[in-house]
Structure 1
Amino acid sequence: MEVQKYLVKLENSELEAIQISNLFCEALISLHGAQVLKFHSKKCNKDLLWLSDLAKFETGKAIRGGIPLCFPWFGGHPTDANLPAHGFARNSLWQLKDITEDTAGHHVLIELTDTAATRQLWNYAFKLQMLIHCGEELKLEFKLQNLDQHAFEFTFAWHSYFPVVTQHASVLGLQDTHYIDQLDENKVKTQTSQGIEFTAETDRVYPKTSGKFIIQQNGENHIQIQSTAKSAVVWNPWIKKAERLADVANDAWQEFICVETGQIASEKVSLDAGETVQYQLSIATA
């Protein structure tokens, strides 16, 4: 299929994005970071992702909102604090390989391979593909192939931002699950309540989960998330942290929560030379 007709420039930027419109949805996917920025479900006339009004569309910088991809590490680098937080995938220009359309919607294939720049940060040969399905649901497939002569380890996360009224939102699916409280000296705790509610800054890493979550709004199901990856992160910056984030409006903490899925902490992945691993994420109205 001729892909050029799908390409647009992001607002006040030279960065290119893929604009999708079909019977099911409207979507916008940045080639910078292979990042889904917007996904609007026509079925329920609802946006399923949040994008900051102050998001910066600049080469080499992370875009605040949508679904940034953290890879090949999540958070700070485990041994070198000078390396970029959350790795380099979200700050890299990916290559658009194909766009197809069928009765289920559009399917976008984007690829990232090692370069001299990535080798400076993570000295391995690899091929990482994201296959993004834009239909009745938003589905993402992460496929990583080790092209190196040596095994490597990695962590990753889809750092998904969801639109809610934060004080009226809750996240279901993590009851009786252990988590690392990153705001309390990384103490390991257990989620005892059925739902996670937001009354202060929240930053929790759940290494092992069922991979199935529901975001509720005012007690009603709002968004459904399913992932084959084992880990999850629940995050909201609240008031003080939002004031320190240049690409988040001071009051925007009230507009979103992050429910991230991936392989984090104890669920770090080791991939032998020549091997391939895949993970899926689906986001739908609940």
Structure 2
Amino acid sequence: MLNYFGIYPLFVVVVVCNFFISESCNIPPALWCNSENVATECSVLDACLYYNTSQLDKKIKLTLLYETLCPDCQEFILNTLQRYVWKYGQDFVDFNFIPYGNARRTQLNNTWTIQCQHGPVECALNKLHGCAISKLVYVGKWFPLIVCLEEAAKLKMDPDAAFLLCSKKKKLDQTLSISIYKCANGVEGDLIQLQMAEITENVKPHPHYFVPWILINDLSTAQLQIYQNGLFNFLCDWHRGSVPKGCAEFTNLFKQRKNMQLLTVQNVIYT
């Protein structure tokens, strides 16, 4: 089953300047590509069809700007991403993590200073995350490690102890573990953090105002952040092409839970 017309609020605002909008179009722009009839009424059918066909069965790039000791970031990674997006969406979501967040950097002569919102320990953990992502490359390797490190961070574990625990728990190759550790405790990790800073400081069109902050297909807007709640449902809506297996599984699970909730209702009393 092809999902040609679903809610995709990220590009339709661009076409407003290029098409005559019918006076009968009283639909919010975020819903213009929700159906062929609405797209026609709002004079954006060609733009919607172009997007839908050009993105057919392509992965959606999900970028996360975060910092390692931010409680909301930890919750977002461990709950929203791990439990839903990662579990059900690996086949159609391309994960991209940028561990830097609200840190600030200053340069004096040839020396950079990075100040992290939650102090030096967070800087050390940000470096560790950056090195792990860089060295492991494949998301199937680094995502579980990041989850483990964030779980350890919630328990206030020392970064070195957390990495030792998680590298064993996730059965990392010893050579890779050593490489990540050296990176996190050396100049290479500093350079990666400067790269993370560069990416974070140059997201467009809107800069990030808080963390966690998400981008979809490299687009950064304040309005997009409202989709953090229920993110997986929106990712399923935004995907074009065959309905991903994980979306079907998640929908069925949601229906089962709803049915179970209805079965628990014994009596209804009106007063």
Same fold (TM over 0.5): no
- Higher RCO, 1 or 2 (CA under 8 Å, sep at least 6)? 2
From the two aligned structures, give the one with the greater helix fraction.
2
Report the TM-score when normalising by structure 1. Answer: 0.23
TM-score, normalising length from structure 2? Answer: 0.24
Q: Which has the larger radius of gyration?
A: 2
